[in-house]
Amino acid sequence: MIFNNHLPITKQVDKRILRRIFRMIGRYLNQNNSPDTLVLNYQKPGDLKKKIDLTINEEGMDNEWLIKVLRKYLRYSVRTTHRNFSNQLFSAFTFPSFIGEIIATLTNTTMATYEAAPLGTLIEQEIIDKMNRLIGFKTENNPADGIMVPGGSYANLMGLLCARYKAMPETKDKGINGIQFRVFVSDQAHYSFKKMMNVTGLGTESLTEIPSDENGRMKTDLLEKAIKQSLEKGEKPFFIGATAGTTVYGSFDPFREIAAIAKKYNLWLHIDGAWGGTLLLYKNKKKQKLLDGIELADSFTWDAHKMMGVPLYASFFLSKHDGLMLKCNAVQGADYLFHSTENTSLDTGPKSLQCGRHVDALKVWLAWKFYGDRGYSNMINDLYSKVNYLKKLITQNPWFELIADPQYFNVCFRIVHPKNSIDMNEMNMEIRDRLFRSGSYFTNYSVSKNGIVFFRLIVNPNSTKSDYRDFMNKLINTTESILKEKYLPDQSAHIFNTVEDQ
């Protein structure tokens, strides 16, 4: 049997174990559709270690142990596809992509060469071509380029490396050699840009964060001012990182204005569209204006695992400059792997920073092929409907305050109270903590530039409007309990009015 503790593994499969595992998976998915199921069964680390033996022993285990441990893993894991999960920028579940993940793992090959992954290579190229056409990189006269990478942070790193190579190709062999490079992002950009400065040896102090406006968009006048100051100091400014869908507010930078500045000063423009890239599939001209000017960029990050319901990882680095990625990343010494054949031009390994690379393209292609552009457009339309519903619930209740007008699927708000003696930051943190530990709702929080703590709710494709009505009422009830316990012990009447369907 394949499920035993004897190596090497034989070819025979125990179908009974497979059936039991897939029945377990089916029950898990069905439970996620029920609001009565907890999003998480919160346990302290010490308590959780007592519930499952994590040690790896001399002797192996049997099939029954495998079934039991999988049940426990599912029981104590966060249910990210649950309808009450609104914490991270991923939550949807698509069955075709789930199966694609299984098949890619089953076949277990590498994407380094066409020889090792013929269909996987062609599938990945098809997706990249499609994305580049949607962005506007791939045209009749420009083939464009791209590759799948393990996460949006990695894709942003690829953009920085390509930008540095284009600005000064000699850095590939000789290093930065004392040059004071300068990189510009907004103060709402993803934290990965700071890490990239460390990884590339440029140094975090070579990163300039440009202030954003009240809607979380980079201020272009301050960007140009910072570039001029850098040039006056004798530095080498070479890279601007804009964002399509910021992590906290879901904001979209003014790309056309930023692109004009990048062109004026000959800087590479990279757009981190990890969160907002999927908006390109929405058949709504008003909302697509948020992406106006992205075709003027040099490179783009797109995470299919964030909005397309594909399992982690499913990230793409996309470039307008065909062949530049290969020049930037190719090195000598891999003749054992990359051979001169009729299919050499299809090998992706030389232009990648990785050698072994999972066939992540399969799960993306299966989901996109199954639902089509229209299916995703309909999903996005439904998400915007939920955003508008939530916005109405928040603005029509005096005990809620909207922090920013939502542009995308990030709804930022907080609980407020007129009594000055109440620390509303402490109050909102405690409300969130109680909901989290109860396991009923899992949403996140953030802190504004002026120190205000607020809820950052990411609208979930699996949720309904009634789910959000119930969530807002849960917030109200929890707030009322805290007020009575800690601040207003003599209060007997209801402090808040519950929200109703609008």
- pLDDT tens digit string along 344-369? 778 777 778 888 889 999 999 999 99
Whether 254 has a pLDDT exceeding 90, the answer reads: yes
DSSP string, 432-488: HHHHHHHTS-EEEEEE-TTS-EEEEEEPPTT--HHHHHHHHHHHHHHHHHHIIIII-
Give me the count of residues in the chain. Answer: 502
**Residues 343 and 392 occupy one common structural domain:** no
Q: What percentage of the chain has pLDDT greater than the value 90?
A: 70
342, 402: one domain: no
Torsion of CA 320, 157, 161, 276, to 10 degrees: 20
Q: b/e per residue, 356-373, with b = 16+ CB within 10 A? A: ebbbbbbbbbbbbeebee
Do 152 and 301 lie in one domain? The reply is yes
Map residue 186 onto helix, strand or coil: strand
Single out the residue in 359, 386, 405 at which a domain terminates. Answer: 359
For residue 218, the SS3 value is strand
Same domain, residue pair 232 and 158: yes
CATH of the domain at 294: 3.40.640.10
The encoded tokens of residue 94 equal 């698509």
Specify whether the CB–CB gap between 267 and 240 falls below 8 A.
yes
Q: Is residue 469 part of a domain?
A: yes
User: What is the predicted pLDDT for the residue at 251?
Assistant: 96
In a shared domain, residues 355 and 395: no
* 22-35 confidence digits (pLDDT tens): 999 999 999 988 87
Domain membership flag for residue 149: yes
- Supply the pLDDT for residue 62: 85
Residue 470 lies in a domain: yes
Q: How confident is the model at residue 492 (pLDDT cuts 50, 70, 90)?
A: very low
Decide if 431 is inside a domain: yes
Q: The domain that contains 394 carries what CATH number?
A: 3.90.1150.170
With contact defined as beta carbons under 8 Å apart, do 114 and 478 qualify? no
Domain boundary among 297, 326, 359: 359
How high is the pLDDT of residue 500?
62
Q: Does residue 265 sit in the same domain as residue 382?
A: no
391 in a structural domain: yes
User: Is 89 domain-assigned?
Assistant: no
| Domain coverage including residue 440 | 373-487
Q: What is the mean pLDDT of the chain?
A: 90
Give 315's contacts (C-beta < 8 A, 6+ positions apart).
148, 149, 150, 151, 152, 154, 155, 274, 301, 302, 303, 304, 305
Domain count, the chain: 2
pLDDT digits (tens, 9 = 90+) for 142-173: 999 999 999 999 999 999 999 999 999 999 89
Whole-structure pTM value: 0.92
CA 435/CA 221 separation, integer angstroms: 42
Same domain, yes or no: 206 and 299:
yes
pLDDT (mean) for 361-383: 96
Question: Is the pLDDT confidence value at 127 over 60?
Answer: yes
Shared-domain flag, residues 307 and 344: yes
β-sheet bridge partners, residue 456: 412, 444
Joined together, the tokens standing for residue 456 give 């950052």
Q: Are residues 433 and 470 in the same domain?
A: yes
Same domain, 269 and 295: yes
Q: Under DSSP, is residue 259 helix (H, G, I), strand (E, B) or coil?
A: helix
pLDDT digits (tens, 9 = 90+) for 175-224: 888 899 999 999 999 999 999 999 999 999 999 999 999 889 999 999 99
- Token readout for 427 is 């109050």
- Would 104 be classed as within a structural domain? no
Residues 330 and 407 in one domain: no
Q: Which of 359, 394, 413 is the last residue of a domain?
A: 359
Q: Is residue 502 part of a domain?
A: no
Say yes or no: 129 and 215 in one domain: yes
CA dihedral 304, 308, 312, 313 (to 10 degrees): -10
298-343 tens-digit pLDDT = 999 999 999 899 998 899 999 999 999 988 887 776 565 566 677 6
